[in-house]
Structures are given as C-alpha cells and as structure tokens.
Chains A and B, each alone.
Chain A
Amino acid sequence: DVKVTQSSRYLVKRTGEKVFLECVQDMDHENMFWYRQDPGLGLRLIYFSYDVKMKEKGDIPEGYSVSREKKERFSLILESASTNQTSMYLCASKLGGANNEQFFGPGTRLTVL
C-alpha cells in the first residue's frame, strides 16, 4: 500500500519561530511537492523537487524554504513563522512524467499565534 506520511497532523507555533514540516514517501517517487490549502483558494504550490537536492519554486515560495537530502524525504521550513502562514499544508509525491497521479499525505494543520 503506497504511503505519504507527514510528521504532524496538528501544529501550533508562535510568531517568529522556526518550523519544520517533514514528509516521507515509500514509493521511490522522483517528484515531491509542498502545497498549502486555504478555503476558496484551492491548493497552491509552494515548492517542488524532481530529484535529490533539486528544488523549484512554485507559485508562493516567499517565507518558505525546502530541503531534499534523501529521495524519500522532503522538508518544508518556515524560517520565521507569521500568522498569515496559518494554513493546511499538504505534501505529495509522484513518479516522473506529466500525467502520473499525485499521492497526498493527510496534511498538517499549522496555526501560528
């Protein structure tokens, strides 16, 4: 059974804290993605990675960075959390190739106070 896991389902942080969100997939997928999901806005791509140590900016990378040191793990980092980063964060992975299915993790609901 294919699986994408995220380190936390719920997280509460304070403004200015450094936040790490971890994502692990067990499918040997080349591509991994970080999205944030907000009501009425759908999913917006923050960063994606098509290989180890490779990263590409998505539509809303400001305030975020990522790390992919191993194929199975893709980390999202909020260097200094702000209240407007309160959101649901979804990680996904897929095989290379344009039309392949994205497999999503269950999401991390982050609240920044």
Chain B
Amino acid sequence: TQLLEQSPQFLSIQEGENLTVYCNSSSVFSSLQWYRQEPGEGPVLLVTVVTGGEVKKLKRLTFQFGDARKDSSLHITAAQPGDTGLYLCAGAVGNQFYFGTGTSLTVIP
C-alpha cells in the first residue's frame, strides 16, 4: 500500500492569508493529482502533475511535483472563503490512485 501523508490535517486562516499544504510519501508515483471536496459532494479534480519538478498555476493556486516524484505541495495565495474545503492529493500507480489523508481548510472572512 502506498501511503500518502498530508499536512497539516486542519488549517484555519483569515481571508487574504497565504498557505501551503504538503503531500508526502516514500513511494514514487507516475503522476499526482489534487482534488477539492466540499461538504456533501464528491471530490473534484483541480490539477494533474506528471513530470518531476513540474509547477502548475491555476489562478491563485500553485502546485508542485517533487523532483523525485514522491511528494507535492499546494500553495494558495490570498485565500478566499470560497477556497474552504477538503483538499486531497492522490498518487497514481498504474491505473489506480492512492489518496492522501486530506487537509481540511477553513478560510474565515
């Protein structure tokens, strides 16, 4: 079993602050995905990173895949209340994804 650890598990910040969520493993993945899940809904894909060292930006969100393809980070700039949710990383091995433990983010207006 490939274990993906996310940190922090819980994060509560004020609107406008920056934050970083980490996703770490001792396993190597062919790609890594980040999902966001809102209460009562299933996770929705934010991004897929494939190449070691890759950095992707989606507006205020920046995703990085580690050089060794074992870890990833998600950085949010100037967080907004709409960013509130559960953030999940998922590493791919073959056709199967292994999900991280999740980071619950609350952005206070």
CA distance A101 to B97 in the complex (A): 10
**Closest A-chain residue to B50, C-beta based?**
A99
Find residues 64-113 in chain A having any chain B CB closer than 8 Å to their own CB: 90, 92, 96-99, 101-102, 104-107
Question: Which secondary structure dominates where chain B touches chain A?
Answer: strand
B63 at the interface (CB under 8 A from A): no
B42 touches A4 (CB 8 A): yes
Find residues 52-77 in chain B having any chain A CB closer than 8 Å to their own CB: none
Find residues 10-67 in chain A having any chain B CB closer than 8 Å to their own CB: 31, 35, 40-45, 48, 50, 58-59
B101 touches A42 (CB 8 A): yes
Given known A40-B101, A42-B100, contact A101–B95 (CB-CB < 8 A): no
Interface size class of B (residues with CB under 8 A): 20 to 34
The number of residues on chain A lying at the interface, defined by a beta carbon within 8 Å of a beta carbon of chain B, is 26
Question: Which secondary structure dominates where chain A touches chain B?
Answer: loop
**Closest A-chain residue to B29, C-beta based?**
A98
**Closest B-chain residue to A44, C-beta based?**
B99
Cβ-defined partner of A96 (8 Å) among B88, B95, B96: B95
B33 at the interface (CB under 8 A from A): yes
CA distance A50 to B95 in the complex (A): 9
Enumerate chain A interface residues (CB-CB to B < 8 A).
Answer: 4, 9, 31, 35, 40-45, 48, 50, 58-59, 90, 92, 96-99, 101-102, 104-107
List 25 interface pairs A-B (beta carbons < 8 Å), by A numbering. Answer: A9-B40, A31-B95, A40-B9, A40-B102, A42-B6, A42-B101, A42-B102, A43-B43, A43-B99, A44-B99, A45-B96, A59-B1, A97-B95, A98-B31, A98-B92, A98-B95, A99-B31, A101-B33, A101-B48, A102-B90, A104-B42, A104-B44, A106-B40, A106-B42, A107-B42
